Structure 1
């Protein structure tokens, strides 16, 4: 059986003396799944994302991503694992305004040691596939919100990650741009990319994922998977 891309076992995280931000959460995500994590503000969505990304560590339990126990890694090793195996897309893009679109996209590959020529070719391929190649030499500030999010997705895919994490990827976009990004994520899922989308937007979840997890008060309260597809069925 194929190993999971994500496996959380009885994971809890508490900050200060408040209630647990995440309480005994267990979750398995297989290769090729597209999972939406839904819940209100303060429910534990961001804590879950940060633990998967290795940006935070659990108080108890284990977090394994692409076969690596990220909860057991030091900061440098966690950053290296994140850079090489996890692509991240944020609500506010997190692009560097003083770098061109191409330089933003190649940055993760250059940090990972990829030669500049190979990195440039990979970036050009991604920008063309995502429909923003005409902006390769522009600076992010000259792009629309939807275009900047496409550049951010290209950057996230630069190192061919096992996992793409998207944190409210349409939260800063207007309706049309948000639908554009939703179609983009759906296309990546159709190509086999494993995706976890943290969002409060049910429409986004329905349009680009095939599994929905709900979190409330730090607990996973619902995990809805698609119905099984019988052999020969049309998807």
Structure 2
């Protein structure tokens, strides 16, 4: 079953290109075991914000890993940012991730022995970007996200919301077409989680494509144009009852 998230108008222009396309994607980790994803076909339009929901073990993390090129399908094709990534080798996949995908994690995944500024700069350095341009981009993001005064601090000195803002800046430093957020508010209190949710919505309003994995129906309803529901590795209609 194919689910499509329609393009939206951004800055007066209709965005129609697919940021993500799955065609008959199945992922089996172990012979004889149930498929983590089973014959999933979907498209997400560029400039769209999509939420992915489902109970534990439903295939959400597998879907995100396939989009990020961290895993490969057993069968089917995965196209992201116009690139067929399921056929790429590891070196090409690493280059693809550095240039096209930013990832935000539930528990931030910041390096404690690096300053805020150096955490944000790290993906740009790994991608071989000009240090001068990368520093300018990082400084701009820290200012945009309201944490520029913490550029020389270490992550342990920051609040959860501040650390998540650093993680968002790090994910955006290479100007990726696609931003993947895995439970981005799961480790935050309600008020801070809403603050991060609003920030993600602002990024999307500026044209950033976003895929949001969450257990929180309110977060999905508030910030996503549409929700993709996964159950036992299969897409189900968004209005279908989903087990907890």
TM-score range, shorter chain: over 0.9
Q: TM-score, normalised by structure 2?
A: 0.89
1:202 matched to which residue of 2? 217
Q: Does 1:62 align with 2:77?
A: yes
Residue from 27, 30, 35 that aligns with 1:13? 27
Q: CA deviation at 1:50?
A: 0.5
- In structure 1, C-alpha distance between the alignment counterparts of 2:16 and 2:81, rounded to whole Å: 11
Once the two structures are superposed, the pairs formed by residues 22-37 of structure 1 within 5 Å of their partners are 22-37=37-52
Q: CA deviation at 1:176?
A: 1.5
| Contact persistence 1:186–1:207 (CA under 8 A) | no
Deviation >2 Å, runs of 4+ = none
Partner of 2:199, secondary structure, is helix
- In structure 2, C-alpha distance between the alignment counterparts of 1:207 and 1:160, rounded to whole Å: 25
Q: TM-score, normalised by structure 1?
A: 0.93
| Count of residues in correspondence between the two structures | 224
- Tell me whether 63-72 or 105-114 shows the greater mean CA deviation: 105-114
Residue from 1, 13, 17 that aligns with 1:3? 17
Q: CA deviation at 1:222?
A: 2.0
Residue from 175, 184, 187 that aligns with 2:190? 175
CA 1:223–1:78: 2 relative to 1, 3 Å: farther
Q: CA deviation at 1:110?
A: 1.4
Q: What runs of 5+ residues in structure 1 fail to find an aligned partner? A: 225-235
Q: Does 1:72 align with 2:87?
A: yes
1:150 matched to which residue of 2? 165
1:233 matched to which residue of 2? none
Residue from 174, 181, 185 that aligns with 1:159? 174
Q: CA deviation at 1:160?
A: 0.6
| Contact persistence 1:33–1:211 (CA under 8 A) | no
Q: Does 1:44 align with 2:56?
A: no
| Contact persistence 1:189–1:209 (CA under 8 A) | no
Q: What runs of 5+ residues in structure 2 fail to find an aligned partner? A: 1-14, 240-244
1:133 matched to which residue of 2? 148
| Contact persistence 1:51–1:63 (CA under 8 A) | yes
- In structure 1, C-alpha distance between the alignment counterparts of 2:91 and 2:217, rounded to whole Å: 36
